[in-house]
Structure 1
Amino acid sequence: MADTQVDEKQAAKAARRADKLARQIGSFAKEHGGAEGQIAYIGQRGARIVLVGEDGGWGDLVAPSHAVAKSAVEKSGITVHEDFDGEFAAKVKTGPYEWTRMAGIQLGGPKNG
């Protein structure tokens, strides 16, 4: 009996988290003229939902599990890609900040960390 209550509480918590993530994805999509995404496993931390807007803007969200991430993107209605490559990756627009952060000390940018 106790296990059932714990399972129900965990399921309800996961559903609430998926709903919140779906709202955040929807807000991102609205702000960027639409959005597409990709879910990446990040170990014990959960799963990362990478979002790319139609305008090239990008961002990410972290879900506590792949199942929660999948539920969130399904609820949001965005297109989800298996991989972050090709045409999907080419939609990302970066600015000077990202280039200096990615380059780090190699190109005289700020150190990462």
Structure 2
Amino acid sequence: MADTEQDENRTDPKAERTAAKLARRIETFAAAHGGAEGQVAYLGERGSRIVLVGADGDWGDLVAPSQPIAEQAVAKAGITVHESFDGEFAAKVRTGPYEWTRMAGIQVGGPRNA
């Protein structure tokens, strides 16, 4: 039983490095946008998506190879993490012409995406 407990407490150095790298990118985004909040969404086998929303309304995202690595990265970065991307959190996102063209342009008669 002692061997099993020891294996469970062991950390994967590669996962630690990946989480630290993602945390630095999150911190860089937060510094450039007056702070940041995030949400982690499970993508399945591809990993997890970390959606970031800056205090200025700009947004971006990162993909982590797994849910635990994504959660570790946002914890290391020290940002507020939301359970879902809705309500007040979603309302903080500022969209521009690019987003409207890409996400809604075709549906509402806008220019076709190239």
**Aligned equivalent of 1:60:** 61
Pick the structure with more helix per residue.
Answer: 1
Distance 1:41 1:90 in 2: 21
Q: Which ranges in structure 1 are unaligned for 5 or more consecutive residues?
A: 1-7
Question: TM-score w.r.t. structure 1 length?
Answer: 0.87
Distance 2:53 2:78 in 1: 14
Between 1:81-90 and 1:102-111, the stretch displaced more is 102-111
Distance 1:30 1:22 in 2: 12
User: In structure 2, the residue corresponding to 1:98 is in which secondary structure?
Assistant: helix
**Aligned equivalent of 1:110:** 112
- Superposed displacement of residue 43, structure 1: 1.0
User: In structure 2, the residue corresponding to 1:101 is in which secondary structure?
Assistant: helix
- Superposed displacement of residue 52, structure 1: 0.1
Distance 1:69 1:32 in 2: 20
Structure 2 residue 89 is the aligned partner of structure 1 residue 84: no
Aligned pairs, number: 105
Question: TM-score w.r.t. structure 2 length?
Answer: 0.87
Structure 2 residue 81 is the aligned partner of structure 1 residue 74: no
Structure 2 residue 20 is the aligned partner of structure 1 residue 42: no
Distance 1:97 1:13 in 2: 36
Q: Which stretches of structure 1, 4 residues or longer, exceed 6 Å deviation after superposition?
A: none
